[in-house]
């Protein structure tokens, strides 16, 4: 096993620019072949490393922080290759003398990891629109319909842009300007679990722009495909500082309805981190209680509750849980720290420490 792991480390070592490009292309091919999970395209972002199986077809995307390997989502492989790829990956991690943590994984993969001794904590909930049954009727979507009407009265039209077919560099310049402006107003972009525009390497991504009657650009959306195009994940959403009210809501709804007419089954509005921490069970982990405290009580730096409420406005047909799984030898505080560092959201660190401290007090009271 030791020699096998050494071969893996050699194979996963530093590469030339050409080799890196070749590996990325291979990863993209595997994503298109095995990308069933909605977050799969995030494994292709440039901040990720890729572990490729030596004897098993597939890969795991990860970053390394403080000797902890943090993996993005589920492994990208066939179901039959899951066990083999996972064992190869663990051998690689042992030889690197690193602990392992998986982030934003599906419920199915969390069950797999629990059988292998990992500790599981809920991380948030993913808002899904099942397009076969989704419509704009009902009182739960009243405010959404009002937003749509405001954008329509302002003359907003939603168009699809196809950089794969013909690049419009003038439009792309406007897109980049809006994106940079948006990021500046947001004090930067959280990393690791969010994607980039990727206009130079669009693959099968889909882009939608919102323009007014003067062809001024108000918003841009980018969706990543999963499950062979049966579903799309809302990966990037940006709007200009002077956009009309309701433009983002109209962009999302119009894009989703167009996909529905094409036969697409699911649109994911993305993950609401820290939402629904204590909704599934009476007992909860220390990490879950800490994250729940942050979600309910703290809005400085990053307002998790506001993000959940925004997605809730669309009345998703269901909310699917997402999980964190980590080596049982890792403390919850260490897991929280490296997760925050991976997301480039150090401003949340003090908030989560406060949340974990409150969770510790709650546990102490319960155990008296």
pLDDT at 333: 79
- For residues 274 and 294, give the distance between their C-alpha atoms in angstroms, rounded to a whole number: 8
* End-to-end Cα distance, the chain: 46
> ∠92-57-335 over CA atoms, to 5°?
40
Q: Are residues 91 and 149 in the same domain?
A: no
- For residues 249 and 239, give the distance between their C-alpha atoms in angstroms, rounded to a whole number: 11
Distances (CA, A) of 161 to 178, 206, 335: 16, 7, 40
- The closest of 265, 258, 188 to 225, measured between CA atoms, is 265
Q: Are residues 92 and 164 in the same domain?
A: no
197 belongs to a structural domain: yes
Domain count along the chain: 2
163 belongs to a structural domain: yes
47 belongs to a structural domain: yes
| Strand ranges for the chain from DSSP E | 49-52, 58-65, 68-72, 76-77, 99-105, 119-130, 157-161, 206-211, 217-226, 231-239, 266-273, 318-326
- For residues 225 and 296, give the distance between their C-alpha atoms in angstroms, rounded to a whole number: 32
| Domain of residue 26, residue span | 2-97
- DSSP symbol at 212: -
363 belongs to a structural domain: no
Residues 232, 267 contacting (CB under 8 angstroms) = yes
Here the CATH number for the domain that contains residue 137 is 3.40.630.30
pLDDT at 5: 44
360 belongs to a structural domain: no
Q: Are residues 92 and 8 in the same domain?
A: yes
Distances (CA, A) of 319 to 275, 300, 304, 368: 10, 25, 15, 35
307 belongs to a structural domain: no
**Chosen domain end from 264, 279, 302:** 264
272 belongs to a structural domain: no
**Chosen domain end from 80, 97, 114:** 97
Q: Is the pLDDT of residue 18 over 70?
A: no
In the structure, what pLDDT confidence band is assigned to residue 6 with cuts at 50, 70 and 90?
very low
In the structure, what pLDDT confidence band is assigned to residue 4 with cuts at 50, 70 and 90?
very low
263 Cβ contact partners less than 8 Å away, ≥ 6 residues apart: none
Q: Are residues 159 and 256 in the same domain?
A: yes
Q: Which residue has the tokens 């406007």?
A: 174
In the structure, what pLDDT confidence band is assigned to residue 365 with cuts at 50, 70 and 90?
very low
pLDDT tens for 116-167 read 999 999 999 999 999 999 999 999 999 999 999 999 999 999 999 999 999 9
Q: Are residues 83 and 150 in the same domain?
A: no
26 Cβ contact partners less than 8 Å away, ≥ 6 residues apart: 52
pLDDT at 294: 73
**Chosen domain end from 232, 264, 296:** 264
Instruction: Calculate the CA 113 to chain-centre distance.
Output: 19
119 belongs to a structural domain: no
Average pLDDT, the chain: 87
pLDDT at 16: 59
Q: Are residues 83 and 201 in the same domain?
A: no
């Amino acid at each position: 096993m030791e020699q096998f792991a050494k071969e893996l480390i050699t194979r996963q070592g530093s590469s030339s620019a050409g080799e890196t490009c070749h590996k990325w292309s291979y990863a993209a091919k595997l994503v298109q072949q095995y990308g069933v999970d909605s977050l799969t395209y995030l494994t292709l972002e440039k901040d990720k490393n890729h572990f490729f199986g030596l004897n098993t077809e597939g890969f795991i995307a990860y970053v390394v922080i403080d000797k902890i390997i943090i993996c993005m989502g589920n492994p990208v492989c066939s179901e039959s290759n899951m066990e083999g790829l996972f064992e190869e990956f663990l051998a690689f991690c042992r030889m690197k003398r690193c602990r392992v943590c998986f982030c934003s994984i599906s419920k199915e993969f969390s069950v797999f990891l629990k059988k292998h001794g990992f500790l599981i904590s809920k991380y948030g909930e993913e808002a899904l629109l099942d397009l076969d049954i989704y419509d704009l009727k009902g009182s739960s979507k009243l405010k959404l319909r009002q937003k749509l009407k405001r954008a329509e009265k302002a003359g907003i039209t939603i168009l699809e842009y196809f950089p794969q077919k013909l690049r419009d560099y003038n439009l792309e310049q406007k897109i980049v300007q809006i994106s940079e402006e948006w990021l500046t107003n947001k004090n930067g972009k959280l990393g690791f679990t969010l994607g980039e525009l990727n206009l130079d390497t669009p693959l099968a991504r889909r882009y939608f722009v919102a323009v007014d009657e003067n062809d001024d650009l108000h918003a841009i959306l980018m969706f990543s495909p999963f499950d062979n195009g049966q579903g799309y994940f809302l990966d990037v959403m940006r709007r200009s500082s002077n956009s009309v009210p309701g433009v983002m809501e109209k962009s999302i709804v119009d894009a989703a309805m167009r996909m529905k007419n094409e036969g697409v089954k699911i649109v994911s509005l993305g993950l609401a981190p820290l939402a629904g921490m204590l909704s599934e069970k009476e007992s909860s982990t220390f990490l879950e209680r800490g994250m729940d405290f942050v979600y309910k009580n703290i809005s400085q730096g990053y307002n998790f509750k506001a993000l959940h409420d925004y997605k809730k406005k669309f009345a998703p047909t269901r909310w699917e849980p997402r999980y964190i799984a980590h080596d049982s030898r890792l403390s919850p505080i260490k897991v929280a720290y490296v997760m925050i560092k991976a997301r480039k959201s150090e401003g949340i660190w003090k908030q989560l420490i406060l949340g974990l401290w409150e969770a510790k007090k709650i546990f102490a009271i319960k155990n008296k």
